Amino acid sequence: MIVDNALYRDGERVDLGCEPGDLTAVRGSVSEPHDFTWVGLFDPTSEELARVAELYGLHELAVEDALSAHQRPKVERYGDSLFIVLKTLWYVDEQDAVETGEISLFVGPGFIVSVRHGDGASLTDARHRLEASSQVLVHGPSAVVYAVCDDVVDRYEEVANSLQEDVDEVEESVFSDGRTNDSARIYVLKRELAEMRRAVLPLREPMNRFAAGTVGGVHRDAGPYFRDVADHLARVADTIDTLDSLLSTAFDAHIAQISIQQNDDMRRISAAVGLVAAPTLVAGVYGMNFDHMPELHWMFGYPWALGLMLLSSLTVFVISKRSGWL
């Protein structure tokens, strides 16, 4: 569906009194040299996107990519227009899951078309913030590219902060005194970090190019804004690497904890066996029924055997306790 469709002039939105679906009327209202239109679509049908493509002369290959919504982050040039793909992220804490969406941007002379897929990638707030900042909006379509990239990267930071909290919980659980089973959660978090890395890392090079002003179609004066986005993106990338390293360390520590616990269990089992084996040996000797055995016909022979069993068990217990086996 077409979410919004507006004309901008001199850093301000022009109220044309048109419905968002009236593409021709908005496009036909462009009259000043720096006017531009911004068409926003959400999960469009092929017919809706075809209408927009025909009106704005979008390349058919880029349109196909925007419709399929399974692209990696990239920037491609088709004639005098740019095609930009961004992956959007949001975090579902109950499932330790990073969900992904996609935004495709068609940037050309006097227009920008945004195609959004996924529930967690609304651009309404970004549009409102941009419309409230005329000094940024005067940069034309480049300002929209910045606003969208800035909004997407801000969401990356939110996801990274949520993952940081979960990694802290895993570390606390691994090094707790209780027995825990953290390997499954560590695997899930590392998998979600990999998903996040696939969205973040390919975007760093295009953002640096935008910041340097070397991409035609993106105004050089917008470079400082993109430098801020690139800085935030680099910070998110560093956080991903740090969290991945912490999870690997936590997993190694978890395995070591399991090994230590198993050794403790074996020592306790060995000590328990010793407690039973010593009196069993005495009982076995006195249960062989030979006539000529020490103290066999002694009146106190039975208490003597029981006392010997108790003494042997006590000896094993003291030795095991001192060595930390019990």
The whole domain housing 295 covers 265-322
Shared domain check, 241 and 189: yes
Exposed/middle/buried for residue 154 (C-beta within 10 Å: 0-12, 13-18, 19+)? middle
Q: What local confidence, expressed as pLDDT, does residue 326 receive? A: 62
Among 237, 257, 277, give the residue marking a domain's end.
Answer: 257
Shared domain check, 225 and 136: yes
Shared domain check, 302 and 192: no
Helix H, strand E, coil C: the string for the chain is: CEEEEEEEECCEEECCCCCCCCHHHHHHCCCCCCCEEEEEEECCCHHHHHHHHHHHCCCHHHHHHHHHCCCCCEEEEECCEEEEEEEEEEEEHHHCEEEEEEEEEEEECCEEEEEEECCCCCCHHHHHHHHCCHHHHCCCHHHHHHHHHHHHHHHHHHHHHHHHHHHHHHHHHHCCCCCCCCHHHHHHHHHHHHHHHHHHHHHHHHHHHHHHCCCCCCCHHHHHHHHHHHHHHHHHHHHHHHHHHHHHHHHHHHHHHHHHHHHHHHHHHHHHHHHHHHHHHHHHHHCCCCCCCCCCCCCCHHHHHHHHHHHHHHHHHHHHHHCCCC
Reported as a single tens digit per residue, the pLDDT across 96-148 is 788 888 999 999 988 999 999 887 667 888 888 888 888 888 888 888 999 99
Shared domain check, 269 and 251: no
Residue 171: band (very low, low, confident or very high) from pLDDT cuts 50, 70, 90: confident
Q: Nearest CA to 19 among 2, 31, 37?
A: 2
Question: pTM for this structure?
Answer: 0.77
Shared domain check, 114 and 91: yes
Shared domain check, 249 and 287: no
Shared domain check, 203 and 172: yes
Residue 240 CA to residue 96 CA, distance in Å, equals 15
Shared domain check, 248 and 121: yes
Shared domain check, 135 and 14: yes
Q: Residue 283: how many CB atoms within 10 A of its CB?
A: 13
Among 223, 257, 291, give the residue marking a domain's end.
Answer: 257
Shared domain check, 217 and 318: no
Residue 84: band (very low, low, confident or very high) from pLDDT cuts 50, 70, 90: very high
Mean pLDDT estimate for the chain: 83
CATH of the domain at 75: 3.30.460.20
Of residues 115 and 251, which shows the higher confidence score? 115
Shared domain check, 112 and 142: yes
Q: Is-contact 68 30, C-beta < 8 A?
A: no
Residue 21: band (very low, low, confident or very high) from pLDDT cuts 50, 70, 90: confident
Shared domain check, 107 and 26: yes
Report the domain count for the chain.
Answer: 2
What percentage of the chain reaches a pLDDT higher than 90?
A: 26
